[in-house]
Amino acid sequence: MARLLHVPLPFSRRGNTLMAVAAELGRCQSASGDVAGVIVSNNRDATIMGIDNLSVDFTEYCPREWFTKAERLRDAVSGRLGWRRRFTGDLYIPAIEAAVGWRPDAVLLYEGLFVAGTVPAWRQALPDAALIVYLHSALARSYGRRELQHALADVDYVVCVSEFLRSQVLARVPKLADRTVVVPNGVDLATFHSVEPSTAIRAEGPAGTGGSEPFTLLFVGQMAAHKGPDLMLRAMARAADLTDRPLSAQLVGSSDYDAGDALTEYEQTLRDLARTSNVDAAFLPFTAKDTLADLYRRADVVCVPSIVDETFGMVAAEAMACGTPVIATPRGGLLEVGGDAVVFVDPEDTYAFAAVIAGLADDPSEVARLAEAGLQRSQGRTWEAATQRLGELSRRA
């Protein structure tokens, strides 16, 4: 029986992607007979059911819950000079202290707030534990090459969720080649699968346009400009001139992974854009995965129009598992996730994006082909497989 501790970002919230990853892996670890634990902030509603929750007070060293620009700059300069990053280093002290008391066999350090720079402190505190830096996003550019080489010298493995991300790591730290491996994210196939939905999903938004059945596009994710929901709405407005079939959209998500968040200026802009562009769009806040799976299944197409390189593409993977075709950005890990089962288009090319939408709206046979291709590609993409691979690495360390 192994004890594996997850360390997501400090101050993580329940809807945060990395907390969802920790929950899925923890569920699988517990089912296999291992003991899973997770570090959670004591001022967040982020408890993960079924595993040990180690609640810590991150505000002890970060009362504001964020660092100022000057503090971030001082940390970056310290790192470049080969010194300890004081602010982020201190921030993780409560987590390290809690981990020592829990006595893990392996620790998954989720990178995202310079946790890689704290590896020496983790190693000193836990000399016998396997230390794995778990990458779901690129290493920050404020890390210098020398700092990364020093910080990661004592790490057992760097785990990346895609070959794209691994190539980015090795471009900066070639010496890590034999310790940097790929473990793709999984999908909960018990939830995200292709069946007829059993419940109706309602969202606030304008009524349908009537006539023939609307062709429905779905966006899921953080409501932020780099995710491109505005680009989908602009393309839909143009696509309406290219097809006689009515189009509708659902946009699901919030600015900061919480259904109770107040609308940001950008989120209000999306609603204004839909209204002024005469796009039939409904908006839902962040929602639970059971409801989300039903939304995937009810959509005709899921759009992932990110204007940044996605290191994996969880939305695309979940949609494909539900038998829903995907239109996505041809960048980063999305290419690995989608392969030939996804239609790739530059979302900033409004006309090309619109043409793809209209083409699928008018071609049910192509939609069906893509749906089947996505289902085939989803086979074997499970959290159980990811858990098994991470367990093998932990035991090998």
pLDDT tens column, 145-202 = 999 999 999 999 999 999 999 999 999 999 999 999 999 999 999 999 997 544 444 4
User: Could you give the C-alpha distances from 83 to 101, 118, 278, in angstroms and in order?
Assistant: 27, 11, 55
**CB-CB contact of 136 with 158 (8 Å):** no
d(C-alpha 185, C-alpha 160), whole Å: 9
Tokens of 202: 């309602």
C-alpha 385, offset from chain centre: 18
pLDDT in tens, 244-277: 999 999 999 988 766 667 889 999 999 999 999 9
Which domains, and CATH codes, for the chain?
3-186+382-396 (3.40.50.2000), 215-378 (3.40.50.2000)
Question: What pLDDT, on the 0 to 100 scale, is given for residue 366?
Answer: 97
Query: Is this structure's pTM higher than 0.85?
Result: yes
For residue 258, the model assigns a pLDDT of: 65
Which residues sit opposite 248 in a β-bridge?
216, 280
The pLDDT of residue 259 is: 63
* pLDDT reported for residue 196: 56
Q: CB–CB of 147/172 below 8 Å?
A: no
Helix axes 229-239, 350-361, angle to 10 degrees: 60
Low-confidence ranges of the chain (pLDDT < 50): 197-211
